[in-house]
Structure 1
Amino acid sequence: MDQGRVTVGATTPAGGPASLLPQSPLSYRHLAVAAAAASTAGSEQKRKTGKKHPGKAILAGGLAGGLEIMMTFPTEYVKTQLQLDERSATPRYKGPIHCASTTVKEHGFLGLYRGLSSLLYGSIPKASVRFAMFEFLKNKLADENGSLSKPRTLLAGLGAGVSEAILVVCPMETVKVKFIHDQTQPNPKYKGFFHGVRTIVRQEGIKGTYQGLTATIIKQGSNQAIRFFVYTSIKKWIQDGDITKDIGSVKTFITGGIAGAASVFGNTPVDVVKTRMQGLDAHKYANTWDCVKKIAKHEGFKAFYKGTTPRLGRVCFDVAIVFTLYENVMKLLDWVWPTPNYS
């Protein structure tokens, strides 16, 4: 027998198998290398499942949400103003451009950022909850390769939307709409975001921050179901079977924009109803369904798509930038916070 080798089928002088003999240092090194390779392969296999750590999703989502709302708030302001303009006997604004130009003329450019604080305070936790819940549900519903079927993608997106609606969106959106609406009055009663929250809670209780909850759940649930479904489907198509393939920021931005547009056309009517139910004139409606019926009866079907143009511009950019920021922040977190064994 050669030094450092074991001959298959050889026996010891006592008749035992040669494979039980102590191996040479060279053989031990081979075993160590093989074990390390197996461990690395196992970790790499887990890494390639496409699963993401929900903890990272909380951080990445929060940062992405805060940055994007600072970029897109003016279009949100215009959209809300147009949807609330119906309360006037003679509507003041002729369209989104007229609304924006009038606001700048009367209040300066920063006038388009009135009410920003209420939305900014909500955007960070909203995006954190959204992405964390989506990643959590995705990990639970995915197969052994980390891939989601289309129905399960819709379910994960729906769950993410419902969660953010209940935990963050409904109370924050209610405050935002009331705050923006109040700022357009001759004598605004809210001196700031926190004063507005205290006033609303004192006068209406916690329930006052949950106006339009049903409409908000439907809106956010359908929003995220559509967005994550479209985004994930297009991304998979671009990846061509390799779910760990990085599609790059440009393709991510375009894919996110398409997902955003799909959600706008899919649920703008729900957004209109939600805004009406959260405005200062919410008392006009007995409930969400009563709001739907009154809009249809007194304003017609087109009223359900009021504010679509500014919302389309905002949401497409909003969703595109959020997904792009999220994916890039996640890459940074993967670098500074390795979690190779997460599954």
Structure 2
Amino acid sequence: MIAGAISRTCTAPLERLKVRMQAQVLPPATITLKSGFETMLREGGIFSLWKGNYVNVLKIAPETSIKYWSYEKYKNLLATERATIGIMDRFVSGSLAGITAQTLVYPLEVLKTRLTLDSTSRYTGISNCVQKMLKYEGFRTFYKGYVPNILGIIPYAGVDLAVFELLKNFWLQHHSRDSVNPGIVVLLACSTLSSTCGQLASYPFTLVRTRMQAEEILRGIQPMKMIRLAKIIIVTEGMMGFYKGIIPNVVKVLPAVCISYGIYEKTRKSLGVADV
């Protein structure tokens, strides 16, 4: 949890830029890495780069715990009496674990998006944001974009967890002689590649989800269903419109994984947790 919190905090400016790029609907100008950071700094100074990060950190513990606990449970359920499970079982287990975790923490995801996109200080904090959303939009607004989110979780969680285990097991079988531990460098490489693959597979769903979550923020944009919104994106922005913000999203993968793993190791040792 500590590792994840520090990792997300360090990469929060890239996360906020990604969400702003995803939510950009109309001209006049396309947001770039440079112009995006300049705009955020101009709007609220250096601390504005971390808007929405508190909620992102807040949902780490329940999301991560539920996801990995569910993953192991689903794997055991699918494996039944078999000694090993295949890639399809891992994919299904990862997808179901992701769906389970996201369903329970999804309102926090919507809150994060709203606070991240708030460039006019419309919300004074989390509680104020919750109150205004309930008052003006009702409880259902906390599940806006839920369908594309779940559809995106299937390829993301499935690909991420399955690719990670396959890469790690491949290394252990072909390059490791005396240890079951592949080492830090190998684990970082496996995590980075698996996370990138998962994000590329699910990114169009993530973008549609963000647009639906932000409908109240994007003035002039009427609430719409997932399929209609996807058609509008294709017509007005082309297929590449589904990948707005992909650059900062990919850029933050490696530092996020490295920071998270590095902090995890330091924390584990400081707490006296032994290797197993």
Does TM, normalized by the shorter one, top 0.5? yes
- SS class of match (1:235): helix
Structure 1 unaligned segments of length 5 or more: list them: 1-61, 339-343
Q: Deviations over 1:267-305 (max 9, x none)?
A: 211111111111024962421111111111122111111
Look up the match of 1:10. none
What's 1:255 paired with? 190
Bigger RCO of structures 1 and 2 (CA < 8 A, at least 6 apart)? 2
Length, aligned pairs only: 270
1:180 aligns with 2:116: yes
TM-aligned CA deviation for residue 104 of structure 1? 2.9
Larger radius of gyration: 1
Q: Which residue of 2 aligns with 1:148?
A: 85
For residue 284 of structure 1, the aligned residue among 192, 214, 222 is 222
Tell me if structure 2 keeps the 8 A contact 1:154–1:228. Answer: yes
1:218 Cα deviation after fit: 1.2
| Alpha carbons 1:115, 1:180 under 8 Å: kept | yes
2:270 matches 1:270: no
By how many angstroms is 1:140 displaced? 3.2
Correspondence list, 1:182-331, <5 A: 182=118, 184-185=119-120, 188-240=121-173, 245-279=180-214, 280=216, 281=218, 284-319=222-257, 322=260
- Check 1:289–1:334 CA distance in 2 against 1; reply closer, same or farther (3 A cut): farther
Letter aligned with residue 307 of structure 1: G
DSSP 3-state at the match of 2:91: helix
Q: Does 1:166 align with 2:166?
A: no
Distance 2:262 2:163 in 1: 15
Opposite residue 85 of structure 2, the aligned amino acid is L
Give 1:70 shift. Answer: 1.5
Matched, 1:100 2:37: yes
For residues 326 and 110 of structure 1, the distance between their equivalents in structure 2, rounded to whole angstroms, comes to: 26
Partners of 1:114 and 1:267 lie apart in 2 by 24
Q: Does structure 1 conserve the Cα–Cα contact (< 8 Å) formed by 2:212 and 2:224?
A: no
Please report how far the alpha carbon of residue 105 of structure 1 lies from its aligned counterpart in structure 2 after TM superposition. Answer: 4.6
The match for 2:6 among 62, 67, 74 is 67
Aligned residue number for residue 129 of structure 1: 66
The worse-fitting range, judged by mean Cα deviation, of 157-166 and 114-123 is 114-123
Structure 2: runs of 5+ lacking an equivalent: none
Q: What CA distance in whole angstroms lies between the structure 2 residues aligned with 1:287 and 1:153?
A: 31
Q: 1:81 aligns with which of 13, 17, 20?
A: 20
Name the CA distance, whole Å, in 1 between partners of 2:272 and 2:99: 28
Contact residue 68 and residue 318 of structure 1 kept, 8 A:
yes
Structure-1 separation of matches of 2:83 and 2:273: 20
Q: Kindly, what percent of the aligned residue pairs are identical?
A: 23
Task: Give the letter aligned to residue 141 of structure 1.
Answer: L
The residue number in structure 1 matching 2:50 is 113
TM-score by length of 2: 0.85
Contact 1:261–1:312 (Cα < 8 Å) also in 2? yes
Contact 2:23 2:207 in 1 (8 A): no
Q: What is the CA-CA distance between 1:239 and the residue it aligns to?
A: 1.2
CA contact (8 A) 2:152 2:202 kept: yes
**Superposition RMSD on alpha carbons, in Å?**
3.0
| Alpha-carbon separation, structure 2, partners of 1:337 and 1:293 | 51
Alpha carbons of structure 1 residues 307 and 102: separation in structure 2 relative to 1, 3 Å: same
Partners of 1:231 and 1:324 lie apart in 2 by 18
State the 1:147 CA deviation. Answer: 3.8
Task: Give, in whole Å, the separation in 2 of the partners of 1:167 and 1:82.
Answer: 26
